[in-house]
Structure 1
Amino acid sequence: MGNLLGSWRFKEPSTVEECDSTWGSDSESDEPPASGDDSGISDCVSPAESERAAGDASPQLPESPESVPKMKRSFYAARDLYKYRHSYPNYRKSRQPNEYRNLRFYLNKIPLVPDGIYIEEILTKWRGDYDKLEHNHTYIQWLFPLREQGLNFYAHELTQEEIKEFQSTREAKRRFLAAYSLMLDFYGIKLLDKSGNVARAANWQERFQHLNESQHNYLRITRILKSLGELGYEAFKAPLVRVFLEESLCRDTLPNMQHSVLEYYVYTVRLPATRRRLLRYARQHYRPAHAFLWGPPPAKKRGGSGGTSAGAGSSGIRAPAPTPEQQRRGEEESPYASSGFLNVSTSYDATMCPPDLAPGAGLKKGCSSSSGMSGLEGALVMAGARGERNDYNEIVPL
């Protein structure tokens, strides 16, 4: 029996739909109530920015479905994020002995390999050195460890035992959050508070322009988001993903990031309810709207057993033809009438935080920004120790 259990492996999903339970059977439980005056459109920018943009706006011709190239979701991305959200169901022990090398690196006891650089040097001397952060490709696996191998084969994968030890070590968590702040600054973003709220930094224009053109950083951001969840800061993901959604879809400052944020960043979030909120916001502003691939599948829309043909976000299997009664109801009701779009303001300048996205994460609307990282360190470290990291530990489909 022992040998049988030892050789058992979890059967991995074979389709995108099997990887993605975001729009599962419980997907309507967090739908906001419909209101008569809800236009289904939220403000992406502040009123002042809207006025400025009005003078520059040029009319856009609507695109027909036939004029848009056929797209489909990446099975590779869906499977990768499925395994991450499910804690690597077929996880094998790392190739090296469990020496807690990631923890010892964060305790400043060993340098990263192969460069021989200690964590304190990175945190104190690399901040603002954007050329070094851009062109060095060995540090990111050490700063943001995972239970999977990265491009630096000298870096060690995390283990469950090391994760527990890391989360209970105050000094390691303090440096981890400092490393997160350092990378956010590199991307033109600043950390505001202990809940993980973020906003544009003072250098955002220059850094966003670079980030839009330097797309290898999108892989780094995926790793950073995964590592946040592994080391106890799951609640920090949604505010960062929300910023990238807004910048790429609404403000058009990071248009090249659209695919990465929808295909990867959203799906690092472990709570389905939080993913749904992010995707509803994205669907609200995605253009062309009919090309939105990330659900919900038409068959699982509220209001009955379908009758619509398969569309974006579905498996591509054609549903049965609608009956005359179903067709009449479909023509009378807008396809987005029951989609539950959030009608929220998303301004997140230096004095405002993003709206509440992560259940239980303590995000606040309109909260004041911090004056600097020095006053945040103690509170930030405690954020991982209090309860934020347990937001996704309830028994829910991932």
Structure 2
Amino acid sequence: MGNLVGSWRLREPSSVQDCDSTWGSDSEDEPAEEEPGSPSEGERGPAWAGEGDPQLTDSPELAPKMKRSFYAARDLYKYRHSYPNYRKSRQPNEYRNLRFYMNKIPLVPDGIYVEEILTKWRGDYDKLEHNHTYIQWLFPLREQGLNFYAHELTQDEIKEFQSTREAKRRFLAAYSLMLDFYGVRLLDKSGNVARASNWKERFQHLNESHHNYLRITRILKSLGELGYEAFKAPLVRLFLEESLCAGTLPNMQHSVLEYFVYTVRLPATRRRLLRFARQHYRPAHAFLWGPPPRKRAGGAAGGGGTGAGSSGIRAPAPTPEPPRRADDSRIILSSHDTVMCQDPDLGSGSARLKGALMLVGGRGERVEYDESFPI
């Protein structure tokens, strides 16, 4: 019997629907969906890509048929569920990630200690951009990345890390270091973030440096593993504002929605982020991450619940996630010195714009890549 239980494995998800439970428990606070159709004139914003392209207009009939990535959804499902089929133990004296953060061993293969990175690399953007071995050591995960000298976390090591003040202090310093690299600053111990003084230069670089989106996904995952789950929502919210509203990071839109949002473990927080995104996404009918339309009295809206919000594009069916202890009704807002989108659902944390908002949908070139590939 012991062998039978020890060898039992959870069924791997086989579709996006299996992986996404964001809207599964949303019965009390989601307004009824409108039937699929073209957005009203007041909802229309700038063209998604090139002006005048008949395939990228607000017409659902002319829009390209898009779908979510199963590989991304599966990767983030496993992360949110703590890698249910992953079993590997490690002796305490092999806690390489903790020992690295205690400044006792250097990262491999470079031979650099964490204190050197934290004190000498800040502001050295060329080094942070072109060195590809440090990120796996600064932001460890329970999965293997491209630096095979880096070690995966284990549950026991995570517990030790979270109880070690020196390691946690350096981890937050590493997070602040990377935020500065991206043109963002950490405001407080609650994880609130804002534009840094160097944001224009760094956002311009970030908009074109797509491999950094892989790094940001890893950073968000590592925050959750090491006890800083609450830090994710402010950063994701800021990137949603910048990519959907301010138009400073248009090329990041897909990554924020397909990857960054889904690193957040609490379904209610993901719903709030996605409602905000759906409100400002253009073209509105192409939004893939909303809930399926609800059935109305006398019939089903949108052909029996196969749409995604008001887009008419297939959306994932709910799969409930395990209950969490943390309060899932709270989201920390980012606040920064720029014009942000209005968002009545999330309160008054964002700056309000008097008059009409200029909504900039991603005009940048769409780059196809699989962000679930480990870094």
With the length of structure 1 as denominator, give the TM-score of the two structures: 0.72
Partner of 1:7: 7
Q: 69, 75, 82: which one pairs with 1:80?
A: 75
User: Which residue pairs with 1:243 in the alignment?
Assistant: 238
Q: CA deviation at 1:60?
A: 11
How far apart, CA to CA, are the structure 2 residues paired with 1:229 and 1:69?
35
Give the corresponding residue for 2:156.
Answer: 161
DSSP-derived class of the 1:207 partner: helix
CA contact under 8 A between 1:249 and 1:286: conserved in structure 2? yes
Contact 2:288 2:313 in 1 (8 A): no
Give the superposition deviation at 1:270.
0.4
Question: Which residue does 1:27 correspond to in 2?
Answer: 26
Match of 2:366 in 1: none
Structure 2 residue matching 1:199: 3-state secondary structure: strand
SS of match in other structure, 1:17 = helix
In structure 2, the partner of 1:393 is: none
Q: Secondary structure of 2:78's match?
A: helix
CA distance in 2, matches of 1:192, 1:347: 9
Q: What corresponds to 1:224 in structure 2?
A: 219
Whether contact under 8 Å (1:138, 1:152) holds in the other structure is: yes
Whichever residue aligns with residue 311 of structure 1, its letter is: G
2:194–2:337 CA contact under 8 A, matched in 1:
yes
Cα deviation code 1:330-373 (max 9, x no counterpart): xxxxxxxxxxxxxxx975229x9x98999xxxx99489xxxxxx
Partner SS, residue 65 of structure 1: coil
- 1:137 aligns with one of 132, 137, 141: 132
- 1:312 and 2:311 are equivalent in the alignment: no
Q: Which of 326, 333, 336 is matched with 1:348 structurally?
A: 336
Q: Is the 8 A contact 2:236 2:261 kept in 1?
A: yes
- 1:147 partnered with 2:142: yes
Q: Is the 8 A contact 2:203 2:248 kept in 1?
A: yes
Task: Select 1:171's aligned residue among 166, 169, 175.
Answer: 166
Give the drift of 1:5: 0.8
The count of aligned residue pairs is 313
Task: Give, in angstroms, the shift of residue 202 of structure 1.
Answer: 0.3
Indicate if the aligned counterparts of 1:191 and 1:198 stay in contact, CA closer than 8 A.
Answer: yes
Give the letter for the 2:336 counterpart.
Answer: Y
Contact 2:101 2:170 in 1 (8 A): yes
Structure 1 distance, partners of 2:68, 2:122, is 36
| Match of residue 120 from structure 2 | 125
CA distance in 2, matches of 1:258, 1:240: 14
Cα shift readout 1:256-309 (whole Å, capped 9, x = no counterpart): 1111000000000000000000000000000010000001112x4787873422
Native 8 Å contact 1:98 1:159 kept in 2: no
Q: Does residue 200 of structure 2 align to residue 205 of structure 1?
A: yes
SS in 2 for 1:295: coil
Match of 2:104 among 109, 120, 124: 109
1: distance between equivalents of 2:257 and 2:59?
22
Q: Give the secondary structure class of the aligned counterpart of 2:194.
A: strand
Return the structure number with greater relative CO, CA threshold 8 A, min gap 6.
2
- Cα distance, 1:98 vs. partner? 6.6
2:37 match: none
Distance 1:304 1:223, change over 3 A: farther
Which residue identity does 2:172 align to in structure 1? Answer: L
1:105-141 Cα offsets, whole Å, 9 max, x none, are 0000000000000000000000000000000000000
Compute the displacement of 1:66 (Å).
Answer: 2.6
Equivalent of 2:66 in 63, 66, 71: 71
Change (3 A) 1:206 1:160: same
- Code of the residue aligned with 2:300 in structure 1: it is G
Q: Corresponding residue for 1:192?
A: 187
Change (3 A) 1:185 1:285: same
Mean Cα displacement is larger for which, 307-316 or 131-140? 307-316
Identical-residue share of aligned pairs (%): 81
Question: 1:136 is aligned with what amino acid?
Answer: N
Give the C-alpha shift of residue 70 in structure 1: 1.1
For structure 2, the residue ranges without an aligned partner over 5 or more in a row are: 33-50, 316-332, 352-375
Cα distance in 1 for partners of 2:113, 2:247 equals 38
Cα distance between partner residues in 1 of 2:348 and 2:162: 25
Contact 1:278–1:357 under 8 Å retained in 2 = no
Structure 1 residues without counterparts, runs of 5 or longer: 34-57, 318-344, 368-398
What is the CA-CA distance between 1:237 and the residue it aligns to? 0.2
Aligned residue for 1:127, secondary structure, equals coil
2:115 and 2:216 map into 1 onto residues whose CA distance is 22
TM-score (norm 2): 0.76
Tell me by how many angstroms 1:67 deviates. 2.4
Partner residue of 2:319? Answer: none
Supply the distance in 1 between the matched residues of 2:348 and 2:158 (Cα, whole angstroms).
Answer: 29
Decide whether the 8 Å contact of 1:247 with 1:254 is kept in 2. Answer: yes
Distance 1:274 1:131, change over 3 A: same
Matching residue's letter, 2:28: S
Between Structure 1 and Structure 2, whose CA radius of gyration is higher? 1
Structure 1 match to 2:290: 295
1:253-268 paired onto structure 2 within 5 Å: 253-268=248-263
- Kindly state the Cα deviation for residue 68 of structure 1 after the two structures are TM-superposed: 1.8
Written as runs of structure 1 = structure 2, the 5 A alignment for 1:53-64 is: 63-64=58-59
CA distance in 2, matches of 1:356, 1:98: 51
